Amino acid sequence: MREIANYNLRDNNTFGIEAFCDRLIVYDSVAEAQKAAEQIRAAGEFLIIGGGSNLLLTKDFAGLVVTPEPRFGVEQVDEDETGIYLKCWAGTQFDDVIAYAIAHQMYGAENLSLIPGEVGASAVQNIGAYGAEVKDLIVKVEAVEIATGNVVSFDNEACEYSYRQSRFKQDWKNKYLITAVIYRFHKEFIPHLDYGNIRAELQQAHIDMPTASELREAVIRIRQAKLPDPKVMGNAGSFFMNPIIDRDKFEFLRQDYPDLPHYTIDEQHEKIPAGWMIDRCGWKGKALGRAGVHDKQALVLVNRGGATGMEVLALCDQVRKDVFERFGIHIYPEVNIV
């Protein structure tokens, strides 16, 4: 177990924000996770992080930050007629798992390519993109219970996955240190191309029936064209959640905004893209101090260089206020603000 006192978290959050914690603990095995749990019990404040790609640090953290060792750890643990089971270390980059799977003829995660972050967090966040969600691959999540140090495991059903949600974000928040996730990949490659502009991207490359690698590369190209690379410009992907509103409110708004984009949830509810509203408020490409709204995707807030977490938070608050004043809709951050 590695321990570092007075640690600068700048390289542990994709916003690239400077913030110190009292102590960082890095666990590299189940036994070390148990020791880390012991340390957590002795400490007061603590924060569990993975790659910090869904995190906004607004100040120094007076407490313990715990994270799995960021390293590649993937092993095949089982196989059935149609699937292969990979057990992956919590600190493995999820995208490296996809690359490994495709290279070894295991399929089903191509559309999730290039989502930043680690395996452990994938099971917390139920990451998703282009019509795919990681919950459809997760078989089991292995963890250490912080309160007792016991080794536990949860099957998919127990995690109660739904859109970007799991029990790890709800009543299990801060209760477990995840050590590994077991995913089941498919032996047969069945491409899912009818989301976003995947087909258009493939057509441009003159590909009708892509291989898994070609589909992965197309998804990566689309994402690179649309989203800022955190290594170049700090960000945490989509900063806000898309709000769900009542049908009455939706019909009322549509009188003023006939082009209001929407996605029907059920008879009574519509989901509205927060990015569209932010854009309509004139924020796209604009800045407040050193924090800004990305010029290609208004849902993404960026660190334009040297921004503090408080500057990003001030921009977040201003954007929320403007959206509310114009549309009467509250939007909420998706990112963990600490």
Ligand X SMILES: Cc1cc2nc3c(=O)[nH]c(=O)nc-3n(C[C@H](O)[C@H](O)[C@H](O)COP(=O)(O)OP(=O)(O)OC[C@H]3O[C@@H](n4cnc5c(N)ncnc54)[C@H](O)[C@@H]3O)c2cc1C
Q: Does 125 bind ligand X (CB under 6 A)?
A: yes
Among 56, 178, 219, 323, binds ligand X (CB under 6 A): 178
| 71 counts as catalytic | no
3-state DSSP call for residue 322? helix
Q: Does 299 bind ligand X (CB under 6 A)?
A: no
Q: Does 302 bind ligand X (CB under 6 A)?
A: no
Q: Does 88 bind ligand X (CB under 6 A)?
A: no
Identify which of 331, 228, 318, 317 has the alpha carbon closest to the alpha carbon of residue 277: 331
| Separation CA 233–CA 304 (nearest Å) | 6
Q: Which is nearer to ligand X, 73 or 128 (CB)?
A: 128
| 133 counts as catalytic | no
| 238 counts as catalytic | yes
| Residue among 23, 164, 223, 304 flagged as catalytic | 164
Please identify, among the stretches 127-135, 248-256, 278-286, 291-299, the one whose residues bind ligand X according to the rule CB under 6 A: 127-135
Q: Does 127 bind ligand X (CB under 6 A)?
A: yes
Q: Does 121 bind ligand X (CB under 6 A)?
A: yes
| Separation CA 87–CA 5 (nearest Å) | 32
List the end-to-end C-alpha distance of the chain, in Å, as a whole number.
25
| Separation CA 53–CA 227 (nearest Å) | 13
| Separation CA 86–CA 67 (nearest Å) | 21
Q: Which residue has the tokens 């939007």?
A: 331
| Residue among 166, 238, 270, 311 flagged as catalytic | 238
Please identify, among the stretches 17-25, 181-189, 235-243, 304-312, the one whose residues bind ligand X according to the rule CB under 6 A: 235-243
Q: Does 14 bind ligand X (CB under 6 A)?
A: yes
Region label for 313, one of left (φ > 0), alpha (ψ between -120 and 50) or beta (otherwise):
alpha
Among 16, 108, 237, 333, binds ligand X (CB under 6 A): 237
Number of residues counted as binding ligand X (CB under 6 A): 33
Give the alpha-carbon dihedral of 104, 30, 128, 249, to 10 degrees: 170
Q: Does 333 bind ligand X (CB under 6 A)?
A: no
48 to 67, contacts with ligand X by CB under 6 A? 48-55
Helical (H) or strand (E) element with 21: strand 20-27
User: With contact defined as beta carbons under 8 Å apart, do 122 and 156 qualify?
Assistant: no
Among 65, 98, 101, 129, binds ligand X (CB under 6 A): 129
Phi, psi of 156 (to 5 degrees): -55, -45
Which residues are catalytic, by number?
A: 164, 238, 334
Binding residues vs ligand X (CB under 6 A): 14, 48-55, 68, 90, 115-118, 120-122, 124-125, 127-129, 164, 176-178, 227, 230, 235-237, 336
